Amino acid sequence: MGSVDYRALAPQILDKIGGEANISALAHCATRLRLNLKDESKADKTAVESLPGVIAVVQAGGQFQVVIGNEVPILFEELTRISNVGGSHTSVAVDEKGPKGNVFNRFIELISAIFQPIVWPLAGAGLLKALLAMSTTFGWLNGETTTYTILNAAADAVFYFLPMFLAITAAKRFKTNQFTSMALAGALVYPSIVALTESVDPVTFLGIPVVVMSYVSSVIPIIIGVWLQGYLERSLNKLLPHWLRNFMTPLLTLLIMVPLLLMTVGPATTFAAQGISAGVNFLFSFAPWLAGAILGGLWQVFVLFGLHWGLVPIMLNDLSTQGFSLLNGPLPAAVLAQAAAGLAVAIRSRSAKRREAAAPAALSGFVAGITEPLIYAVNLPLKRPFYFGVVGGAIGGAIAAAGGSAANQFVFPSILGLTAYTQHGSFVLQLIGTGVAMVIGFTLTFLFGPREQADAKEEDATVPTLSSEAAPTAGVTDTAEIAGPVSTGTRTVTLATGTKIALGAPVAGTAVDLTKVPDRVFASLAMGRGIGIVPTDGTIVAPVDGRVAVAMKTGHAFGLKTDTGVEVLVHIGIDTVQMKGEGFAARVAKGDLVKKGDVLCEVDLDVIRAAGYDPTTVMIVTNTTNFTDVSPIATGTLVAGADAALVTI
């Protein structure tokens, strides 16, 4: 399929499935494009199957599946380039009809998806804030000048008006009118609404008391607002006649949603933040180290939910009344632990895109105390770096608070901001606590954080060398001899015609004829010949020596290429791409060299079955037509690694 023009194929597929407007979700797995169509009757299955590069079309599980083969990521990229479905930076788009993970994982996925499109503006603005902070700290720029005012506006605008940016991305996520969403966000940060926070008179709406708060830089209120907006808009569009919808739907949406948010979400957020603040303040007087551990550990969690704004007024009040704020003491540890974890990701990750996001975002955290780009683009999606940062913040915060460390001015907790902690409490313990937090965040992430796989389109600059033991002789039966040189991992082994290469079973279980596998594409042999196995064990191993050419992020499929040119696909379960990685733990990444029997993945078979999927594992040679024959040789019970199929050169 290498000669297929996928740039030309993408618009043809769009046209024959009813156009972009007929797609509700777009994703891909190891070999096929998966589309959820609004109206399948608009799709011409026969016409799509006749297109060059399309192997087959399967309609199953509510999806229109276009089988492409190993080059499906290229087609996916082309489709997302010419349309607004799928997302141009994701390998697998969200499929809302598939099984869901636990609530916390779904929340992380939601927040990450909403923030991903604005990560780079946040990172760039954060770096500009860092430069401004450095310039004023070292006296290079006077903070009272109009030059500083202009530059600060450029740096701070994206944070100040963050609800409006989030309104756009949330509207795409929740399928609402994004301009109505922006109007909703604009009302939250409207100057007269912000000014109400300073009002000495009671604030009411139609006589109903309103608890006011500032929504500047807030996160959760607008996300909740746009989510509710989606339900309201859909209901109004059903109820209103078509000649009224265009203007009445946004009118009624704003009329209902703005007061609703100001009277419900705002007060709920405020009360939650005030309750947390009161509890933390009590702990500072009762057990400083415990208060420091709680605030240092949870500060970034508060930032995630926007609850940290409830603590800011208390900090400012403390500074104005007593000249210092104990609440600030644990914060450098919390922030810099996350920054250190992000730095470890930048060093450790195999993903170039992740490294590109992590490095500047970590610098923004270190220098300016801006961690939002880091949290939403790096640490939170990867989970463990965020957790390790929380642990470091808790321990470091406890040390700093135990010494009574406090800030004597309101600063962003950062390396530059440490100068504000020299006048109250033990500055030495503040430095020790911050240092310990950074070491914990960095070390735990570096040692135990996920390495990830290389980006789907990233080509390896070099291929690691196979040891002499990795020569493919182990996979050649006694019926033939190797006619070419032993592989070094960079050269191709030449084998005599008639040579037979044994493929091992990728998992222990019961052999199944491939034509009996409950997947029409695999069973049709359109993807290639091989064998199916009903697994009895969750350890998936490499059936041959070779290089990992494909490693799906979901962990459900791996493609291996041997030095002899055999391309083997190991697909774990039927339709398990829908599980989005739940129950799968990949042990290799794209570009890795593996030997026959090396572990590719650990799978929880009970999780697969509980999710309603068949765990039958398929091993096929995707370039079957390049060889004289590919045939299964095993029946009955199989041990992982035992000969299961033969490839005849």
- Residue 496, judged by CB atoms within 10 A of its CB (0-12, 13-18, 19+), counts as exposed
CA distance 626 to 548: 20
Q: Which of 308, 424, 556, 571 is catalytic?
A: 571
Contact present, 533 and 510 (Cβ < 8 Å) = yes
The DSSP symbol for 570 reads E
Distance CA(525)–CA(532), nearest Å, equals: 12
Q: What angle is formed at CA 606 by the lines to CA 600 and CA 612, rounded to 5 degrees?
A: 105
Asked if residues 132 and 369 have their Cβ atoms less than 8 Å apart, the reply is: no
Angle at 455 between CA 449 and CA 456, to 5 degrees: 135
8 Å CB contact between 240 and 248? yes
| Angstrom distance (rounded) from CA 294 to CA 470 | 52
Q: Give the active site residue among 29, 308, 424, 556.
A: 29
Q: Is 571 a catalytic residue?
A: yes
Which contiguous run of DSSP H or E holds residue 112? helix 103-115
What is the Cα gyration radius of the chain?
29
Distance CA 521, CA 417 (A): 60
Residue bearing tokens 């605008």: 157
For 171, the 3-state DSSP assignment is helix
CA angle 30, 36, 42 (to 5 degrees): 120
Write the single-letter amino acid at 344: A
The structure tokens 């391309």 sit at 567
Residue 29 bears catalytic tag = yes
Between CA 372 and CA 378, with CA 374 as vertex, the angle to 5 degrees is: 130
Catalytic positions, please? Answer: 29, 571
